[in-house]
């Protein structure tokens, strides 16, 4: 019985320890969840009360989308580029996307959060309807403001007649479109195209694919140029080799003539020199017999 009691005690203690561990883990998860919720609420409060912070947050989300697009910063897109208008004032679009053939697309992030946050938090349908309308008005205000910047008319940019308005919250974008089915046309008439993170990412990846094809085409052209240059060099090399061959033959002919004068024929230099030696010229060296005509040996 004592042994049985000890086993029961061990099992009970083990289960108690496990329950305490599980309780601690659950408590930790609850604390983390609470902290996340609190941080989210703080972020919401901070953003909805400060248009500047909302804009900065929208730009951060825009940069994250760009980082996932496959485009390279400062090579295929630029952030916060300062540009001059024809009137001499300076503008600074959030992002300028560079396209092949020196073309560009401008993207500006716009956050409509105040009415949207109220809409999400509202419990009464009449309130939700009111906030949906306010949210739509906010989006249209952003469209009008962006249209007035006339980015596509800047001399430094070769841009199509529209600018992309980036809404970083997918659901905010969806609610606005649901509220007004003609919102896209409203924006297009003002040379603005509305995009969300998902639609912008698809657009940017298409542009990245275009750049990839462009670089491949440029590589093909460069290969063709280098091949032409190499061919021309090769033709020049062959011409030079032919010239060298002719010069070698001329040198050989001149050499043969010089050797003939040295060792063949009547009165050649070798036999004449040998005769002078035999007549008493003092010399310490002997001309090699290969330089004598056979008749002179």
Residue-level pLDDT at 39: 47
At 284, list the tokens. 């310490």
Residue-level pLDDT at 183: 92
d(CA 150, CA 163): 9
pTM: 0.61
Residue-level pLDDT at 50: 63
Per-residue pLDDT of the chain (297 residues; tens, 9 = 90+): 556 456 556 656 666 666 666 666 566 656 654 554 454 455 555 566 566 777 778 888 888 888 888 888 888 889 888 877 667 678 888 888 888 888 888 999 888 777 887 887 788 888 888 988 998 899 999 999 988 888 877 777 777 778 999 988 888 888 888 888 899 999 999 999 999 888 888 888 888 888 888 777 777 777 878 888 888 888 888 888 889 988 998 888 888 787 777 777 666 777 777 777 777 767 667 766 666 665 655
Q: Give me the residue spans of the domains in the chain.
A: 1-220
What residues are paired with 90 via a beta bridge?
84
Residue-level pLDDT at 224: 79
């Amino acid at each position: 019985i004592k042994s049985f009691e000890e086993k029961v005690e061990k099992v009970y203690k083990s289960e108690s320890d496990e329950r305490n561990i599980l309780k601690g883990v659950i408590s930790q998860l609850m604390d983390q969840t609470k902290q996340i919720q609190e941080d989210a609420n703080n972020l919401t409060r901070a953003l909805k009360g400060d248009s500047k912070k909302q804009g900065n947050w929208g730009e951060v989300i825009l940069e994250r989308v760009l980082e996932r697009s496959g485009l390279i910063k400062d090579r295929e897109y630029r952030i916060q580029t300062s540009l001059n208008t024809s009137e001499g004032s300076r503008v600074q679009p959030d992002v300028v996307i560079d396209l092949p053939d020196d073309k560009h697309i401008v993207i500006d992030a716009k956050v409509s959060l105040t009415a949207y946050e109220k809409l999400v938090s509202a419990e009464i349908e009449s309130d939700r309807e009111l906030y949906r309308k306010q949210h739509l008005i906010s989006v249209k205000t952003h469209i009008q403001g962006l249209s007035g910047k006339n980015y596509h008319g800047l001399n430094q940019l070769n841009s199509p007649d529209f600018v992309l308005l980036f809404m970083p919250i997918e659901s905010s974008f969806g609610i606005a479109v649901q509220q007004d089915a003609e919102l896209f046309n409203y924006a297009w008439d003002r040379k603005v195209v509305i995009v969300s993170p998902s639609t912008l990412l698809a657009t940017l990846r298409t542009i990245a694919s275009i750049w990839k094809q462009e670089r491949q085409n440029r590589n093909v052209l460069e290969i063709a140029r280098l091949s032409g240059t190499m061919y021309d060099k090769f033709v020049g090399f062959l011409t030079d080799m032919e010239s060298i061959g002719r010069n070698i033959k001329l040198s050989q002919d001149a050499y043969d003539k010089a050797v003939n004068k040295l060792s063949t024929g009547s009165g050649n230099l070798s036999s004449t020199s040998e005769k002078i030696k035999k007549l008493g010229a003092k010399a310490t060296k002997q001309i090699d017999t290969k330089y004598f005509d056979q008749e002179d040996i």
